[in-house]
Structure 1
Amino acid sequence: MLGATAAAGDTEAGEKLDAAIRSIGALDEAAMREAAARLDQLIKPPGSLGRLEELAIRLAGITGTPVAERPLRKAVVVMAGDHGVCDEGVSAFPQEVTPQMVLNFLQGGAAINVLARQTGAEVVCVDIGVKGDLAHERLLSRRVRGGTANMARGAAMTREEAIRALVAGIEVAEELAERGYGLFATGEMGIGNTTPSAALLAVWGGLEAKEVVGRGTGIDDAGLARKREAVERAIAVNRPDEADPLDVLSKLGGLEIAGLAGVIIGAASRRCPVVIDGFISTVAALAACKLAPGAEPYLIASHLSEERGHGLALRKLGLAPMLHLGMRLGEGTGAALVFPLIDAAGGVLREMATFDSAGVSKG
């Protein structure tokens, strides 16, 4: 995958990105076979736990451990960044909401905090590109720049900035893995970020703006028209090269989208599963897989968002969501709800009796 960053020059950040991409390994087939064999020995009809069994087998392949001794330690990484395209009137909320919501996350009062607490997960907030100053003892500052430029009038960021955002995400994942976290969820905060997500999906999916642009925070019909026009103009002005993932990401993306793509690449390089949330997180996963195709098996799709385009992005990745709850909040909320299912899949392998151990006749 060296070709993905070669055009950026032989920079330290580019080398770090390439090294992480190269270090992603294939799933452990032996561990998957062992997990599948144990599932068939458990006191139940073969395959009767459906997708829970499929999840258990894939987790074994990701981690290389057929039967985990304990549940994986969980972290929801919430990347925050602002977007210059908000100047086009694409959101129902002003940009000031981004830092305000980040502080709410840090104070524990947002929906993601509530759901994370219920599942024993830690919320890790990262300022990768919020407009304005942010300070909090629990905030991870990985700022690349104070928000992207207006993609409807030029490139959202430079190629170097996109690489730096990717590497920031990789390093966050690596740091958390070193601290013992083995299961990640991707969350985001950034007013206007469904607009760059729609633009990225339009290019990578070969789709028109009207197919991928949704109402985001709840814009009216006039706002929806402005949003579609902004996406169309951004693609026309920037002429992104679909064959060059970094060109597309830098011209049309967001800093938090690139950061989340980096988290996915970094987690996969450490053999850690990643639960992706809604539309923005899924487009970030698409960016990660464009750069590092080997990352795809490490992804778990949590839910199907109500945001237009999310289902198309999931299909592009070949992923099926675990839940469909009519959600469209973001923050990582849908991903957090899947943590108990992942714990359940591991618990079945670890704790359920076999026919032999229970003294039950096998049909």
Structure 2
Amino acid sequence: MFSVSPLSAQFESDILTIINSKTKPLGALGQLEDLAKQLVNVKSQSNGVLVTNPTISHPHMLVFAGDHGIAEYGVSIAPSAVTGQMVANFASGGAAINVFSRQLGWQLDVIDAGILTATDNDAICNQRLGAGTKAFHLESAMSLADVKLGFSLAKKLVEEKHKNGCDLIAFGEMGIGNTSSASAIMSAVMNIPAVESVGKGTGIDQATFIKKQQLIQQALDFHQVPSNQALEILAAYGGFEIVQICGAMLAAAELNIPIVVDGFICTAAAMIAKLIQPNVQDYFIFAHCSGEQGHEKMLQWFNAKPLLQLELRLGEGTGAALTLPLMQSALAFYNDMASFTQANVENVVSEKE
């Protein structure tokens, strides 16, 4: 369904020459230089020509929501009803992701991927795969057909955004119980026990934490899906929102759109996307390291260095949203900062080399 090409290396030398000619010591802008290199390279892929004056003009944030059967077994501080309540909050503009999107200039869309109760609110995009997943410690969360349908719906949505000018995409999520799903996915992909992947989510107490670990280990022992079987892992443990985020990531990479990866749940989706199409990581920009205990291990699996370290654990895409000014700054210095020649400044660094 997806074909993701690796980033071409043909532009790397020219991009580095431009970055290194700016009036600064080599590497002095740190991660912003790496970010500029990646963004310019991704944006140069579509036409096969090094893009001049690259910008971000139409950033899109897609927040997918879904409910989880395992939530009914006491793994969260909140009941599943909160998922639908928060989706209504998104629709009315009252959540953190709404605030940050308005502040920073993201175009925000909220997608019902499968919450318990459907809504007729026109502000919510309906891409329902069902009324929540099944309890994955007792049976598969969904069927392989559900996974494939979720991919198809996500791909169509991203293609629509691309036609409307989307040049940067990020994903958020909402779903009571989805840290359980993400932990199970992490354990399955990395072949590690639940004790190494399960965190406290939104802040559960110790007794609930132990129960959560036990249920997820029960699920891992029950399904025993091989670590390289991406679709089967999603079917066994995934959430409807995680499936669609994964599909949307693959679709965005296929269209040469830079992808901002948010926290723990979105990184679980990114792990599956990489199993399906390894080249997808070339398009990933990792936003932050979540307060969820397994997220740092996920980032190590990718050998990724996130842009922010703010101890966020809210989800919704909030960490990804906050990185937009950094990406704009990376392109601003690339486009507008004078070179040593333009500024008549002696290039001491080059002369010493």
Residue matched to 1:239: 224
2:116 corresponds to which residue?
131
Partner of 1:276: 261
The answer (yes or no) to whether the contact 2:172–2:318 under 8 Å persists in 1 is yes
Q: Does 1:71 align with 2:56?
A: yes
Q: What residue in structure 2 maps to residue 199 of structure 1?
A: 184
Question: Which one of 35, 60, 71 corresponds to residue 55 of structure 1?
Answer: 35
The aligned counterpart of 2:301 is: 316
The answer to whether the Cα contact below 8 Å between 2:35 and 2:330 also exists between their aligned partners in 1 is yes
Alignment of 1:205-354 (within 5 A): 205-354=190-339
SS at match of 2:10: helix
SS in structure 2 opposite 1:196?
helix
Shift of 1:30: 2.5
Paired residues of 1:25 and 1:269 also in contact (CA < 8 A): yes
Residue 83 of structure 1 corresponds to which residue in structure 2?
A: 68
How do residues 158-197 of structure 1 correspond to structure 2 at under 5 angstroms? 158-197=143-182
**CA, structure 1 residues 58+69, in 2 after alignment: closer, same or farther (shift >3 Å)?**
closer
Q: Structure 2 CA distance, aligned partners of 1:52 and 1:222? A: 43
* TM superposition shift of 1:313: 1.0
How high is the TM-score relative to the length of structure 1? 0.92
Residue 33 of structure 1, CA deviation: 2.2
Q: Where do 1:22-37 residues align within 5 Å? A: 22=3, 24-37=4-17
Describe the shift of the 1:264–1:131 C-alpha distance in structure 2 as closer, same or farther (beyond 3 A). same
Structure 2 Cα separation of the partners of residues 242 and 272 of structure 1:
28
The residue identity in structure 2 corresponding to 1:131 is: L
Cα deviations across residues 88-146 of structure 1 (Å, max 9, x unaligned)? Answer: 11110011111111111121110011111121111111111111121222211111111
Q: Deviations over 1:225-262 (max 9, x none)?
A: 11111101111222223221111110111111111101
How far apart in 1 are the matches of 2:278 and 2:298? Answer: 15
Decide whether the 8 Å contact of 1:35 with 1:67 is kept in 2: no
Q: Write the letter of the residue equivalent to 1:114.
A: V
Deviations 1:61-96 (A, max 9, x none): 211144434324211110100000112111100111
Letter in 2 for 1:52: L
Q: 1:185 aligns to what SS in structure 2?
A: strand
Q: Which moved more, 1:28-37 or 1:52-61?
A: 28-37
What SS does the aligned partner of 1:124 have?
strand
Identity fraction in percent: 35
The alpha-carbon deviation at position 48 of structure 1 amounts to 1.2
- Partners of 2:324 and 2:145 lie apart in 1 by 35
AA aligned to 1:231 is: I
1:253 maps to amino acid: G
TM-score normalised by length of structure 2:
0.94
Q: Is 2:20 the partner of 1:40?
A: yes
Deviations 1:312-334 (A, max 9, x none): 11111221111111110000000
Total equivalences in the alignment? 343
* CA positional deviation for 1:28: 3.0
* Equivalences for residues 70-149 of structure 1 within 5 A: 70-149=55-134
SS at match of 1:80: strand
| Structure 1 contact 67–346 (Cα < 8 Å) conserved | no
The alpha-carbon deviation at position 359 of structure 1 amounts to 2.1
SS in 1 for 2:323: helix
* Kept in 2: contact 1:34–1:66 (CA 8 A): no
- Partner letter of residue 92 of structure 2? Q
Structure 2 alignment gaps of length 5 or more: 45-49, 349-353
User: Which secondary structure does the structure 2 equivalent of 1:213 belong to?
Assistant: coil
Q: Are the equivalent residues in 2 in contact too, given 1:28–1:60 (CA < 8 A)?
A: no
Helix, strand or coil at the partner of 1:146: coil
Distance in 2, Cα, partners of 1:350 & 1:241: 46
- Cα displacement (A) at 1:32: 2.7
- Quickly say closer, same or farther: Cα 1:32–1:60, change in 2 above 3 A: farther
Structure 1 unpaired stretches of 5+: 1-17
